[in-house]
Amino acid sequence: MRIDPKTEQECYAGLILPAGVYDFEVTKALDKTSKAGNEMIELQLAIYTDDGSMRYVRDWLMGSVAYKLRHFAYAVGLVTEYEAGNIEAIDCEGRSGKAKIVIKKDEQYGEQNRVADYIVPDAPATATPAARPAAVPPVPRGNAPLAEDDIPF
């Protein structure tokens, strides 16, 4: 077999996404316990790039990283579950949204992509109530005569 020898950096260069905001979908979610004994959800995210390629990135949702947990819930439509105080792994699978991806250097594994945060979509602009139209006078019923000014058209 003929090969093209590569440096360690070259081997992993195509696997690391540049830092930025990407579309994602949760392909797997597992209820787990952290090393500290706290409940958490381990996520496997499919990260989609503009060129149509896809990479997997793992993330962990924990109560100790409150902003990330809240942002995830709001980003993927789990607001009701979040506000009720209970999100399960099964609730997360198949959900999608946008995530801020960064590059972290790990002593053991080198550079890796990590989720820095989840992007909460802008809330619909709060519509200011339109000025209420003037009330249309009721159309007289029965035999009452109509004044010319009372004709509604």
Tokens matching residue 59: 């993330």
The whole-angstrom separation of Cα 99 and Cα 21 is 5
**Cβ neighbours, 10 Å, residue 78:** 19
Per-residue pLDDT of 54-106, as tens digits, reads 999 999 999 999 999 999 999 999 999 999 999 999 999 999 999 999 999 88
Helix (H, G, I), strand (E, B) or coil at 47: strand
pLDDT tens profile 81-90: 999 999 999 9
Q: Which two tokens mark 28? A: 């797997």
What does the pLDDT look like over 22-49, one tens digit per residue? Answer: 999 999 999 999 999 999 999 999 999 9
Task: Write phi, then psi, for 2 (nearest 5 degrees).
Answer: -90, 140
37 near 56, Cβ under 8 Å? no
Nearest residue to 62 via CA among 90, 76, 81, 43: 43
Written as one letter, the residue type at 92 is C
Residue 144 banded pLDDT, cuts 50, 70, 90: low
According to DSSP, residue 80 is labeled H
Least confident of 120-124, 126-130, 136-140: 126-130
Q: Is the pTM of this model over 0.75?
A: no
